[in-house]
Amino acid sequence: MIKPDKTVAFYTLGCKVNQYDAQAMVEIFERAGYQIRPFGEQADVNVVVTCVVTAAGEQKSRQMLHRVRREQPDSHLVAAGCLAQKDAEKLKDLGVRLILGNQHREQVVQLLEQAIRENNRITAVEDVLRVPYEELSITRQEGRTRAVMKIQEGCDRYCAYCIIPYVRGGIRSRAPEAIAREAKRLVRAGYREIVLTGIHLTSYGRDLGGLTLLDAVRAAAVDGLGRLRLGSLEPVIASAAFVESLAHIPAVCPQFHLSLQSGSNSVLRRMRRRYTAEEYLAAARRLQDAFPGCALTTDVLVGFPGETQEEFEQNLAFCEQVGFAKMHIFPFSRRAGTVADRMPGHLSRSLKTERARQMAALEARMSKDFMASFLGSSQDVLFETLTKDGLALGHTPNAINVYCPGGSPGKIQKVRLVAPLDDGLRATLLSSS
């Protein structure tokens, strides 16, 4: 049985949604009387929140489960998240006390303690295709400046390469009233910025009688919130009406993560993406026009099955045409059970690595060009932490990293951007609020 001074440690892999789910479970354990320990320290319970979006993420998830079992054989191990949802049966051989998929997370302590009490192993995994939104909540996240808020779960796009709809289930949206309550709670706790996240934010509200993402944004933009940032969006959402409405919400940050995957129309069709490069570009330009100086960031996948040299060059040229502030670049990763896994024409690892290298070189150049365009300007920076050199590190509304002597973590302060750095800009302090 667990001691009276019971302890728990968490290790979280993957996306911001996983980070939110993990924090919600941390707080559930705390309310049940557990003390939180840093991962790696001895703990009565270890929770690994797993990821399967790439083969590397899945492998690391398994490695962390093996590591806990090897280093802390007497600890009660909980496997949660997407790998637990995908491979519950296979995880039973790892000595996992509780296998918890992408539902029933609010019962994590209850289920774990039941398994311990009965000296049993429990698998709490069900089909998540038609389940309601699970109302988790948080009161804090690490730091006191920026909080991630989950408002949506699931995806029904079934892109050819993606396993996420199979492990996250159908579209479920959080009620606007619950969004507003949590936003107010986070603002009262001192957070200056909230990031709205979900598995497929663009689909928010389809299960709520015709609500849209704008309803969620308006609900989250509560009094006292300095900044509201949106997670990953599909280009189809950036209609003229949506962009115009968004531009009239003062808290919305001029930084948008618009998922691309490829700038080649033939590759987009094979991927089963529901837009063309031309439609993507039109969406990007609408955002750039409505939010001058905005940062467009994206995900790009290289080496999709059958990708020719010409298609890769189309992808490179298109990314340069858009002018991204930052790109997350992924070599194609086979996921068993997806359409792409069964496609012909899989590329060699060396070719995918080389194409990722070329795309990364373009990304580095565009990122430096974007940041350099703001040199000499004054910007409001939300400072988050102090570096080991004593500089305050924060970010502008359009997500440029800023290093500044004299900055105060937790405050929004006006600075002048004066010099380029490897991963941001150096600044001098002008004023604070």
Annotate 290-356 with DSSP letters as a single string: HSTTPEEEEEEEE--TT--HHHHHHHHHHHHHHT-SEEEEEE----TTSTGGG-S-PPPHHHHHHHH
Instruction: List the helix and strand counts (H, then E) for the chain.
Output: 13, 18
Per-residue model confidence (pLDDT) at position 210: 87
Rg (CA), the chain: 22
Contact in structure between 367 and 323 (CB atoms under 8 Å): no
Q: Tell me the two tokens of residue 324.
A: 């991204």
Distance CA 53, CA 55 (A): 7
Distance CA 223, CA 59 (A): 43
CATH architecture of the domain covering 7-124: 3-Layer(aba) Sandwich (3.40)
Q: Which amino acid is at 312?
A: F
Q: How far is CA 364 from the centre of its chain?
A: 21
Helix (H) or strand (E) holding 214: helix 213-220
Longest dimension (CA), the chain: 65
Contacts of 71 (CB under 8 A, 6+ apart): none
Task: Say yes or no: domain 146-372 is CATH 3.80.30.20.
Answer: yes
State phi, psi for 211 to the nearest 5 degrees.
Answer: -70, 160
Distance CA 100, CA 84 (A): 6
CATH number for region 378-432: 2.40.50.140
Torsion, CA 178, CA 179, CA 180, CA 184, rounded to 10: 100
- pTM attached to this predicted model: 0.94
Q: Tell me the two tokens of residue 222.
A: 């509560």
Q: Where are the domains of the chain?
A: 7-124, 146-372, 378-432
Mean pLDDT by 10 residues, the chain (433 residues): 82 96 97 97 98 95 96 97 95 92 96 96 92 94 87 96 95 98 96 97 95 98 97 97 98 98 98 98 98 97 98 98 98 96 97 98 98 97 94 97 95 96 96 59
Contact in structure between 78 and 96 (CB atoms under 8 Å): yes
Per-residue model confidence (pLDDT) at position 49: 98
Strands (E), 154-276: 172-173, 193-198, 227-230, 255-257
